[in-house]
Structure 1
Amino acid sequence: MSEATTPRVAVVTGAARGIGAATALRLAADGYAVAVLDLDAEACAGTVAAIEEQGGRALAVAVDVSDGDSVTAAVAAVVEQLGAPVVLVNNAGITRDNLLFKMNENEWDSVLDVHLRGAFLMSRACQQHMVEARFGRIVNLSSTAALGNRGQANYSAAKAGMQGLTKTLAIELGQFGVTANAVAPGFIVTEMTAKTAERVGMSFEDFQAAAAAKTPVRRVGRPEDIAQAVSFFAREEAGFVTGQVLYVAGGPRG
């Protein structure tokens, strides 16, 4: 995008840290004005500052992606202050790990609400602007956990659901110039995986080493690895790629 044109607008949920923050930074580097969404707008200050330091434009917006009214208000704020979004990255997520027989209904519901309901609400709110523009890119964050993972029945179900949602969005929205794809990370160094290490009683360093040893490329992933994949799907040149799930996991999955 040239400096003379108004930058297109991208929305990234769960962008205060980790994969979301890295993705927001990458999309800003690609020339997008980026709406940095998270539960707490103040927590987004670091991501916004990093984008602005690189000469980009960013806006922090508070949102509870599992709440319809909150999503409506957040997207309206983005439209008013940045412009209509044409890229949406549904990254917001939480974990509430437990074995099935110990998992309570709140642990199940909260994970499905943030990941799957959140992606549905955000996609529904943003797609109208994409359809009007006859251009749009929706990228959903799935996970290798979609294939099953001990202690994560809720998370695995949510991430598998993200893949089904992605494929359906691709079918419904393709005629309007809108693509929908999913990125499924493997082991990525984030606060979330650090909490998983704590849950299983390992130091994070040992946890990473064990994961790397089982990965063909012999390393763990970084948030930037996922951001690169999202960047590809968000490109105008990727308009013939839709309904796909890309495992970014250092080896074959799926």
Structure 2
Amino acid sequence: MSARECVLVTGASRGIGRAIAERLTADGMHVINFDKAAPENIAEHETFVQVDVSDEKILRTALTDVTSKFKITRLVNNAGIVRPATIEKTTIADFQAVMNVNVAAAIICVQALLPAMKSAHFGRIVNIASRAALGKEERIAYATSKAGLLGLTRTLALELAADGITVNAIGPGPIATELFQSANPPGAPATQRILDSVPLGRIGQPEEVAHIAASLLDQRAGFTTGQVVYVCGGMTVGLSQ
């Protein structure tokens, strides 16, 4: 077992999840990374576990294994998928697939880690939501799932406060991840329209989301719970004209 404090981060092999994992290991934590694929480079203080979080049986088995080896009192529910579609083209199968990864997996992870958190009378849970929870075209399933995470965050914050466990959410706006850049090539008109809509005039970086996550996971962040921090360059205040 690592002597470092342990944090479970789902989907920590790429994008925002990777930036969070790297920040937390740099801050002195041991990261347990649940992802379908390994990162390009596994950090010295990282345990990678190949897990398909959409499969409840596989996820619960993996959680049972890691909780028997590590005392985990911090959790980042970051794993997520997108199935872009308008309401006319959204299928229930796609909706359920998105909800399984974006919401159900988060609930299962919380359930598995609660005993250790309650025993320690300390816990930090951060759910990675999205600015899309406030509404975004062609994101029926995704926006609904991320809005569900916000409701989960607030409800858990109330239920777990007496146990010294804080629960918060982060709502990233457009962030320069591999997924975003593959769908929005630099220099493309559609990409420029997104840039023009951000008051700060640029795309956010994964490390900027990781900084907020690290702050909310800190032991000193004990009086902040049930909150949503939007890392969106000002888009939730008002779109740039």
Same fold by TM-score greater than 0.5: yes
Residues of 2 paired with 1:231 and 1:47: CA distance?
Answer: 21
Instruction: Provide structure 1 residue ranges, at least 5 long, that are not aligned to the other structure.
Output: 198-202
Q: What secondary structure does 2:149 align onto? A: helix
Which residue is 1:26 aligned to?
A: 23
Instruction: Mark the CA change 1:190 to 1:246 in structure 2 (over 3 Å): closer, same or farther.
Output: same
Q: What secondary structure does 1:158 align onto? A: helix
Residues of 2 paired with 1:205 and 1:92: CA distance?
Answer: 28
Residues of 2 paired with 1:38 and 1:148: CA distance?
Answer: 27
Instruction: Mark the CA change 1:239 to 1:172 in structure 2 (over 3 Å): closer, same or farther.
Output: same
Instruction: Provide structure 2 residue ranges, at least 5 long, that are not aligned to the other structure.
Output: none
Q: What secondary structure does 1:237 align onto? A: coil
Which residue is 1:239 aligned to?
A: 222
Alignment of 1:155-170 (within 5 A): 155-170=142-157
TM-score (norm 1): 0.87
Can you list the C-alpha shifts for 1:77-118, whole angstroms capped at 9, x where unaligned?
32344x111110000011111111011121111111110111
The equivalent position to 1:132 in structure 2, one of 119, 141, 147, is 119
The alpha carbon displacement at 1:205 in A equals: 3.6
Which structure 1 residue ranges, 4+ long, deviate > 4 Å from structure 2?
none
The alpha carbon displacement at 1:252 in A equals: 5.2
Residues of 2 paired with 1:7 and 1:14: CA distance?
Answer: 21
Q: What secondary structure does 2:137 align onto? A: coil
* Count of residue pairs the alignment pairs up: 235
Alignment of 1:113-152 (within 5 A): 113-152=100-139
Residues of 1 paired with 2:41 and 2:103: CA distance?
Answer: 24
Which residue is 1:88 aligned to?
A: 75
Alignment of 1:98-247 (within 5 A): 98-197=85-184, 203-206=185-188, 207-247=190-230
The alpha carbon displacement at 1:195 in A equals: 4.9
The alpha carbon displacement at 1:76 in A equals: 2.6
TM-score (norm 2): 0.92
8 Å Cα contact 2:99-2:141 kept in structure 1: yes
Residues of 2 paired with 1:94 and 1:177: CA distance?
Answer: 31
Can you list the C-alpha shifts for 1:51-94, whole angstroms capped at 9, x where unaligned?
22xxxx1100122223332222222332344x111110000011
Q: What secondary structure does 1:125 align onto? A: helix
The structure that is helix-richer by fraction is: 1
Q: Percent identity?
A: 39
What amino acid sits opposite 2:33 in the alignment?
Answer: V
Residues of 1 paired with 2:183 and 2:216: CA distance?
Answer: 29
Which residue is 1:46 aligned to?
A: 40
8 Å Cα contact 1:170-1:243 kept in structure 2: yes
What amino acid sits opposite 1:58 in the alignment?
Answer: E
Can you list the C-alpha shifts for 1:166-202, whole angstroms capped at 9, x where unaligned?
00111111111110000000001123323543xxxxx
